[in-house]
Structure 1
Amino acid sequence: MNTTSRISQSDTYDKRTIILHWLSALLVMVLWIAGQTIDFFPTGTPRITVRSLHISFGVLLAVTLFVRILWRRGAGSKLPPADAGALGKLAIGVHYLLYALMLAVVVIGIAAVWIRGDNLFKLFTVPAFDPANKALRHNVVELHGLLANILLGLAAFHAAAALWHGLVKKDGVLRRMLPT
Protein backbone atom coordinates (compact mmCIF):
# COMPACT_ATOMS: atom_id res chain seq x y z
CA MET A 1 0.00 0.00 0.00
CA ASN A 2 1.36 3.38 -0.95
CA THR A 3 0.83 5.96 1.78
CA THR A 4 2.87 8.74 0.25
CA SER A 5 0.28 11.36 1.16
CA ARG A 6 0.52 10.49 4.88
CA ILE A 7 3.56 12.70 5.41
CA SER A 8 3.42 16.01 3.62
CA GLN A 9 6.30 17.96 2.12
CA SER A 10 6.05 20.42 5.03
CA ASP A 11 6.84 17.54 7.41
CA THR A 12 10.56 17.71 6.77
CA TYR A 13 13.33 18.62 9.14
CA ASP A 14 15.02 21.99 8.91
CA LYS A 15 18.37 22.27 7.14
CA ARG A 16 20.43 22.54 10.34
CA THR A 17 18.85 19.38 11.77
CA ILE A 18 19.53 17.55 8.52
CA ILE A 19 23.15 18.74 8.35
CA LEU A 20 23.79 17.79 11.99
CA HIS A 21 22.20 14.36 11.44
CA TRP A 22 24.30 13.52 8.39
CA LEU A 23 27.47 15.00 9.90
CA SER A 24 26.93 12.80 12.98
CA ALA A 25 26.39 9.73 10.79
CA LEU A 26 29.50 10.46 8.71
CA LEU A 27 31.66 11.06 11.79
CA VAL A 28 30.45 7.85 13.46
CA MET A 29 31.35 5.84 10.34
CA VAL A 30 34.74 7.52 9.85
CA LEU A 31 35.59 7.15 13.54
CA TRP A 32 34.59 3.48 13.57
CA ILE A 33 36.69 2.72 10.48
CA ALA A 34 39.67 4.61 11.92
CA GLY A 35 39.27 2.84 15.26
CA GLN A 36 39.22 -0.54 13.54
CA THR A 37 42.33 0.19 11.46
CA ILE A 38 44.64 2.16 13.79
CA ASP A 39 46.68 -0.94 14.63
CA PHE A 40 47.22 -1.70 10.93
CA PHE A 41 49.52 1.31 10.71
CA PRO A 42 53.18 1.02 11.66
CA THR A 43 54.20 2.42 15.02
CA GLY A 44 55.59 5.91 15.02
CA THR A 45 54.35 8.81 12.93
CA PRO A 46 51.76 6.93 10.80
CA ARG A 47 49.98 5.43 13.82
CA ILE A 48 50.26 8.68 15.80
CA THR A 49 48.69 10.53 12.87
CA VAL A 50 45.77 8.11 12.52
CA ARG A 51 45.16 8.04 16.28
CA SER A 52 45.39 11.84 16.38
CA LEU A 53 42.85 12.09 13.57
CA HIS A 54 40.61 9.63 15.41
CA ILE A 55 40.80 11.75 18.56
CA SER A 56 40.27 14.99 16.62
CA PHE A 57 37.22 13.63 14.81
CA GLY A 58 35.97 12.30 18.16
CA VAL A 59 36.16 15.82 19.56
CA LEU A 60 34.34 17.06 16.45
CA LEU A 61 31.63 14.43 17.07
CA ALA A 62 31.36 15.65 20.69
CA VAL A 63 30.88 19.24 19.53
CA THR A 64 28.42 18.17 16.82
CA LEU A 65 26.45 16.12 19.34
CA PHE A 66 26.38 19.02 21.81
CA VAL A 67 25.15 21.44 19.13
CA ARG A 68 22.68 18.85 17.86
CA ILE A 69 21.16 18.32 21.31
CA LEU A 70 20.92 22.06 21.94
CA TRP A 71 19.36 22.62 18.52
CA ARG A 72 16.91 19.74 18.95
CA ARG A 73 15.83 21.00 22.38
CA GLY A 74 15.51 24.56 21.09
CA ALA A 75 14.69 25.79 17.61
CA GLY A 76 15.04 22.52 15.67
CA SER A 77 12.08 20.96 13.87
CA LYS A 78 9.90 18.73 15.98
CA LEU A 79 7.96 16.28 13.87
CA PRO A 80 5.41 13.74 15.04
CA PRO A 81 6.44 10.06 15.12
CA ALA A 82 6.10 8.37 11.74
CA ASP A 83 4.25 5.43 13.27
CA ALA A 84 1.70 5.26 16.04
CA GLY A 85 1.75 2.73 18.84
CA ALA A 86 4.59 0.34 19.53
CA LEU A 87 6.58 1.12 16.36
CA GLY A 88 6.48 4.84 17.13
CA LYS A 89 7.65 4.21 20.68
CA LEU A 90 10.40 1.90 19.38
CA ALA A 91 11.59 4.62 16.96
CA ILE A 92 11.70 7.20 19.76
CA GLY A 93 13.57 4.75 21.98
CA VAL A 94 16.10 3.99 19.23
CA HIS A 95 16.73 7.72 18.72
CA TYR A 96 17.35 8.25 22.45
CA LEU A 97 19.60 5.20 22.54
CA LEU A 98 21.58 6.49 19.54
CA TYR A 99 22.16 9.79 21.35
CA ALA A 100 23.08 8.00 24.58
CA LEU A 101 25.52 5.69 22.82
CA MET A 102 27.16 8.54 20.90
CA LEU A 103 27.58 10.43 24.17
CA ALA A 104 28.91 7.35 26.00
CA VAL A 105 31.39 6.49 23.23
CA VAL A 106 32.68 10.08 23.16
CA VAL A 107 33.00 10.36 26.95
CA ILE A 108 34.70 6.96 27.26
CA GLY A 109 36.96 7.84 24.32
CA ILE A 110 38.04 11.02 26.09
CA ALA A 111 38.59 8.97 29.25
CA ALA A 112 40.70 6.49 27.25
CA VAL A 113 42.91 9.31 25.97
CA TRP A 114 43.34 10.64 29.50
CA ILE A 115 43.94 7.22 31.08
CA ARG A 116 46.27 5.97 28.35
CA GLY A 117 47.97 9.25 27.60
CA ASP A 118 48.44 10.23 24.00
CA ASN A 119 50.51 12.23 21.59
CA LEU A 120 48.45 14.43 19.29
CA PHE A 121 50.17 14.99 15.95
CA LYS A 122 53.50 15.15 17.83
CA LEU A 123 52.44 18.67 18.84
CA PHE A 124 50.77 18.06 22.19
CA THR A 125 51.05 15.27 24.75
CA VAL A 126 48.21 14.25 27.00
CA PRO A 127 49.90 12.82 30.10
CA ALA A 128 48.73 9.39 31.24
CA PHE A 129 46.51 9.39 34.34
CA ASP A 130 47.95 6.14 35.74
CA PRO A 131 50.66 4.82 33.39
CA ALA A 132 51.27 1.65 35.42
CA ASN A 133 47.60 0.59 35.44
CA LYS A 134 47.48 -1.45 32.22
CA ALA A 135 44.28 -3.25 33.26
CA LEU A 136 42.37 0.04 33.57
CA ARG A 137 43.70 1.23 30.20
CA HIS A 138 42.75 -2.08 28.57
CA ASN A 139 39.25 -2.15 30.09
CA VAL A 140 38.42 1.44 29.10
CA VAL A 141 39.69 0.99 25.54
CA GLU A 142 37.73 -2.29 25.24
CA LEU A 143 34.55 -0.63 26.57
CA HIS A 144 35.02 2.24 24.10
CA GLY A 145 35.30 -0.26 21.24
CA LEU A 146 32.37 -2.37 22.41
CA LEU A 147 30.05 0.62 22.69
CA ALA A 148 31.25 1.92 19.31
CA ASN A 149 30.35 -1.46 17.77
CA ILE A 150 26.91 -1.40 19.40
CA LEU A 151 26.43 2.19 18.18
CA LEU A 152 27.31 1.20 14.64
CA GLY A 153 24.94 -1.78 14.78
CA LEU A 154 22.09 0.37 16.09
CA ALA A 155 22.84 3.02 13.45
CA ALA A 156 22.64 0.29 10.77
CA PHE A 157 19.25 -0.78 12.19
CA HIS A 158 18.15 2.88 12.11
CA ALA A 159 19.28 3.20 8.47
CA ALA A 160 17.51 -0.05 7.54
CA ALA A 161 14.30 1.23 9.12
CA ALA A 162 14.61 4.50 7.18
CA LEU A 163 15.13 2.56 3.94
CA TRP A 164 12.13 0.35 4.77
CA HIS A 165 10.02 3.48 5.17
CA GLY A 166 11.36 4.92 1.92
CA LEU A 167 11.42 1.86 -0.32
CA VAL A 168 8.73 -0.44 1.07
CA LYS A 169 6.18 1.69 2.90
CA LYS A 170 6.78 4.71 0.66
CA ASP A 171 5.30 6.92 3.35
CA GLY A 172 7.63 9.91 3.07
CA VAL A 173 9.51 9.29 6.33
CA LEU A 174 12.86 8.91 4.57
CA ARG A 175 12.35 12.25 2.78
CA ARG A 176 12.11 13.99 6.16
CA MET A 177 15.88 13.75 6.64
CA LEU A 178 17.10 14.01 3.05
CA PRO A 179 18.76 17.26 1.95
CA THR A 180 16.63 19.30 -0.42
Structure 2
Amino acid sequence: MHTSSALTSALVYDRRTILFHWLSAILVVGLWVIGQTIDFFPKGTPRVTVRSLHISFGVLLGAVLILRLIWRRTSGARLPAADPGMLGKLAVGIHHLLYLLMVAIVIIGVAAVWIRGDNIFNLITVPAFDPANKELRHNVVELHGLLANILLALAAFHAAAALWHGLVKKDGVLRRMLPVKS
Protein backbone atom coordinates (compact mmCIF):
# COMPACT_ATOMS: atom_id res chain seq x y z
CA MET A 1 0.00 0.00 0.00
CA HIS A 2 1.24 3.49 -0.85
CA THR A 3 2.40 5.53 2.16
CA SER A 4 -0.22 8.28 1.76
CA SER A 5 -2.94 5.62 1.39
CA ALA A 6 -1.81 3.94 4.60
CA LEU A 7 -1.86 7.32 6.34
CA THR A 8 -5.32 8.11 4.94
CA SER A 9 -6.79 4.80 6.06
CA ALA A 10 -5.51 5.32 9.61
CA LEU A 11 -7.35 8.66 9.90
CA VAL A 12 -11.02 8.87 10.78
CA TYR A 13 -13.36 11.63 11.81
CA ASP A 14 -14.64 11.80 15.37
CA ARG A 15 -18.08 10.39 16.17
CA ARG A 16 -19.81 13.78 16.46
CA THR A 17 -18.48 14.91 13.06
CA ILE A 18 -19.70 11.63 11.55
CA LEU A 19 -23.10 12.02 13.25
CA PHE A 20 -23.51 15.59 11.96
CA HIS A 21 -22.49 14.50 8.45
CA TRP A 22 -24.98 11.64 8.21
CA LEU A 23 -27.77 13.53 9.95
CA SER A 24 -27.29 16.38 7.45
CA ALA A 25 -27.30 13.92 4.55
CA ILE A 26 -30.48 12.18 5.73
CA LEU A 27 -32.24 15.50 6.33
CA VAL A 28 -31.21 16.89 2.93
CA VAL A 29 -32.46 13.82 1.05
CA GLY A 30 -35.63 13.58 3.15
CA LEU A 31 -36.39 17.28 2.75
CA TRP A 32 -35.86 17.05 -0.99
CA VAL A 33 -38.24 14.07 -1.26
CA ILE A 34 -40.88 15.83 0.84
CA GLY A 35 -40.43 19.02 -1.19
CA GLN A 36 -40.94 17.11 -4.43
CA THR A 37 -44.13 15.44 -3.20
CA ILE A 38 -45.96 18.12 -1.17
CA ASP A 39 -48.29 18.96 -4.04
CA PHE A 40 -49.29 15.29 -4.47
CA PHE A 41 -51.19 15.48 -1.18
CA PRO A 42 -54.79 16.71 -1.11
CA LYS A 43 -55.31 20.30 -0.03
CA GLY A 44 -56.28 20.81 3.56
CA THR A 45 -54.93 18.91 6.54
CA PRO A 46 -52.88 16.30 4.61
CA ARG A 47 -50.95 18.94 2.66
CA VAL A 48 -50.62 21.19 5.73
CA THR A 49 -49.15 18.24 7.65
CA VAL A 50 -46.62 17.39 4.94
CA ARG A 51 -45.63 21.04 4.46
CA SER A 52 -45.35 21.39 8.25
CA LEU A 53 -43.05 18.36 8.37
CA HIS A 54 -40.94 19.93 5.61
CA ILE A 55 -40.70 23.19 7.54
CA SER A 56 -39.94 21.40 10.83
CA PHE A 57 -37.21 19.24 9.30
CA GLY A 58 -35.83 22.32 7.56
CA VAL A 59 -35.53 24.09 10.90
CA LEU A 60 -33.89 20.94 12.30
CA LEU A 61 -31.40 20.99 9.39
CA GLY A 62 -30.66 24.63 10.24
CA ALA A 63 -29.97 23.70 13.87
CA VAL A 64 -27.81 20.73 12.84
CA LEU A 65 -25.85 23.00 10.48
CA ILE A 66 -25.22 25.56 13.21
CA LEU A 67 -24.05 22.85 15.62
CA ARG A 68 -22.01 21.19 12.87
CA LEU A 69 -20.25 24.42 11.94
CA ILE A 70 -19.54 25.26 15.60
CA TRP A 71 -18.22 21.73 16.18
CA ARG A 72 -16.09 21.86 13.05
CA ARG A 73 -14.66 25.24 14.05
CA THR A 74 -13.96 24.35 17.68
CA SER A 75 -13.50 20.64 18.33
CA GLY A 76 -14.05 18.50 15.25
CA ALA A 77 -11.28 16.37 13.80
CA ARG A 78 -9.39 18.00 10.94
CA LEU A 79 -7.94 15.53 8.52
CA PRO A 80 -5.47 16.20 5.74
CA ALA A 81 -6.73 16.30 2.16
CA ALA A 82 -7.16 12.86 0.65
CA ASP A 83 -5.81 14.00 -2.70
CA PRO A 84 -3.01 16.47 -3.26
CA GLY A 85 -3.13 19.17 -5.89
CA MET A 86 -6.17 20.09 -7.94
CA LEU A 87 -8.32 17.13 -6.86
CA GLY A 88 -7.83 18.08 -3.22
CA LYS A 89 -8.67 21.71 -3.95
CA LEU A 90 -11.76 20.61 -5.88
CA ALA A 91 -12.87 18.44 -2.95
CA VAL A 92 -12.45 21.33 -0.50
CA GLY A 93 -14.34 23.65 -2.85
CA ILE A 94 -17.19 21.17 -3.19
CA HIS A 95 -17.41 20.77 0.59
CA HIS A 96 -17.59 24.54 1.01
CA LEU A 97 -20.25 24.75 -1.71
CA LEU A 98 -22.27 22.00 -0.01
CA TYR A 99 -22.22 23.97 3.25
CA LEU A 100 -23.05 27.23 1.47
CA LEU A 101 -25.98 25.67 -0.37
CA MET A 102 -27.39 24.09 2.79
CA VAL A 103 -27.21 27.39 4.66
CA ALA A 104 -28.72 29.32 1.73
CA ILE A 105 -31.55 26.81 1.28
CA VAL A 106 -32.48 26.94 4.97
CA ILE A 107 -32.45 30.75 4.99
CA ILE A 108 -34.48 30.96 1.77
CA GLY A 109 -36.87 28.31 3.13
CA VAL A 110 -37.49 30.40 6.24
CA ALA A 111 -37.97 33.43 4.00
CA ALA A 112 -40.46 31.47 1.87
CA VAL A 113 -42.52 30.60 4.95
CA TRP A 114 -42.55 34.23 5.99
CA ILE A 115 -43.24 35.62 2.51
CA ARG A 116 -45.89 33.02 1.63
CA GLY A 117 -47.37 32.77 5.09
CA ASP A 118 -48.01 29.31 6.42
CA ASN A 119 -50.03 27.20 8.77
CA ILE A 120 -47.81 24.83 10.73
CA PHE A 121 -49.61 21.68 11.93
CA ASN A 122 -52.79 23.77 12.26
CA LEU A 123 -51.21 25.10 15.48
CA ILE A 124 -49.12 28.08 14.40
CA THR A 125 -50.05 30.60 11.75
CA VAL A 126 -47.26 32.58 10.14
CA PRO A 127 -48.85 35.63 8.51
CA ALA A 128 -47.85 36.39 4.93
CA PHE A 129 -45.37 39.24 4.48
CA ASP A 130 -47.11 40.59 1.38
CA PRO A 131 -50.15 38.44 0.53
CA ALA A 132 -50.86 40.23 -2.76
CA ASN A 133 -47.30 39.76 -4.11
CA LYS A 134 -47.67 36.38 -5.80
CA GLU A 135 -44.60 36.97 -7.99
CA LEU A 136 -42.34 37.38 -4.95
CA ARG A 137 -43.79 34.26 -3.36
CA HIS A 138 -43.35 32.29 -6.58
CA ASN A 139 -39.76 33.49 -7.13
CA VAL A 140 -38.62 32.68 -3.60
CA VAL A 141 -40.19 29.22 -3.64
CA GLU A 142 -38.68 28.55 -7.09
CA LEU A 143 -35.22 29.67 -5.90
CA HIS A 144 -35.53 27.42 -2.83
CA GLY A 145 -36.38 24.47 -5.09
CA LEU A 146 -33.67 25.23 -7.64
CA LEU A 147 -30.97 25.44 -4.97
CA ALA A 148 -32.28 22.22 -3.40
CA ASN A 149 -31.96 20.45 -6.76
CA ILE A 150 -28.42 21.77 -7.19
CA LEU A 151 -27.56 20.66 -3.64
CA LEU A 152 -28.90 17.18 -4.27
CA ALA A 153 -26.93 16.87 -7.53
CA LEU A 154 -23.75 18.08 -5.83
CA ALA A 155 -24.34 15.73 -2.90
CA ALA A 156 -24.75 12.85 -5.38
CA PHE A 157 -21.42 13.82 -6.96
CA HIS A 158 -19.88 13.95 -3.46
CA ALA A 159 -21.26 10.46 -2.70
CA ALA A 160 -19.99 9.12 -6.04
CA ALA A 161 -16.52 10.50 -5.28
CA ALA A 162 -16.60 8.84 -1.85
CA LEU A 163 -17.60 5.52 -3.45
CA TRP A 164 -14.80 5.92 -6.03
CA HIS A 165 -12.33 6.35 -3.16
CA GLY A 166 -13.76 3.32 -1.37
CA LEU A 167 -14.31 0.92 -4.25
CA VAL A 168 -11.73 1.92 -6.86
CA LYS A 169 -8.87 3.64 -5.09
CA LYS A 170 -9.38 1.70 -1.85
CA ASP A 171 -7.46 4.42 -0.04
CA GLY A 172 -9.49 4.58 3.18
CA VAL A 173 -11.13 7.94 2.44
CA LEU A 174 -14.63 6.43 2.51
CA ARG A 175 -13.94 4.82 5.90
CA ARG A 176 -13.17 8.26 7.34
CA MET A 177 -16.87 9.09 7.51
CA LEU A 178 -18.49 5.69 8.04
CA PRO A 179 -20.37 5.33 11.32
CA VAL A 180 -18.99 1.84 11.99
CA LYS A 181 -15.28 1.33 11.61
CA SER A 182 -14.01 -2.06 10.49
* The two structures share one fold, judged by TM-score above 0.5: yes
TM category (shorter chain) comes to over 0.9
Q: Counterpart in 2 of 1:70?
A: 70
Could you tell me whether the CA contact under 8 Å between 2:9 and 2:175 is conserved in 1? no
- The offset of 1:178, in angstroms, is 0.3
Question: What residue in structure 1 maps to residue 34 of structure 2?
Answer: 34
CA offsets 1:105-152 (integer angstroms, 9 cap, x no match): 000000000000000000000000000000000000000000000000
Aligned-pair distance for 1:8? Answer: 3.5
The residue number in structure 2 matching 1:139 is: 139
Aligned to 1:159: 159
Q: Give the paired residue count.
A: 178
Q: Secondary structure at the match of 1:7?
A: helix
Q: Which runs of 5+ in 1 are unaligned?
A: none
Q: Post-superposition, which runs of at least 4 consecutive aligned residues in structure 1 deviate over 6 A? A: none
Q: 2:62–2:103: 8 Å Cα contact kept in structure 1?
A: yes
Q: CA deviation at 1:6?
A: 3.9
What is the TM-score when the length of structure 1 is the normalising length? Answer: 0.97
Q: Post-superposition shift, 1:5?
A: 1.9
TM normalised by structure 2 equals 0.96
Matched AA of 2:6: S
CA deviations 1:65-114 (Å, max 9, x no partner) are 00000000000000000000000000000000000000000000000000
Aligned Cα root-mean-square deviation (Å): 0.9
Tell me, yes or no, if the aligned pair for 2:13 and 2:77 is still in contact at 8 Å. Answer: yes
Q: Please, which runs of 5 or more residues in structure 2 have no aligned partner? A: none
Counterparts of 1:64-143 in structure 2, within 5 Å, are: 64-143=64-143
CA distance in 2 between partners of 1:7 and 1:81 (Å):
9
Q: Distance in 2 between matches of 1:114 and 1:56?
A: 14
Conservation of the 8 A alpha-carbon contact between 2:9 and 2:173: no
Following TM superposition, by how much is the alpha carbon of 1:7 offset from its aligned partner in structure 2, in angstroms? 1.5
- SS of aligned partner of 2:119: strand
SS in 2 for 1:43: coil
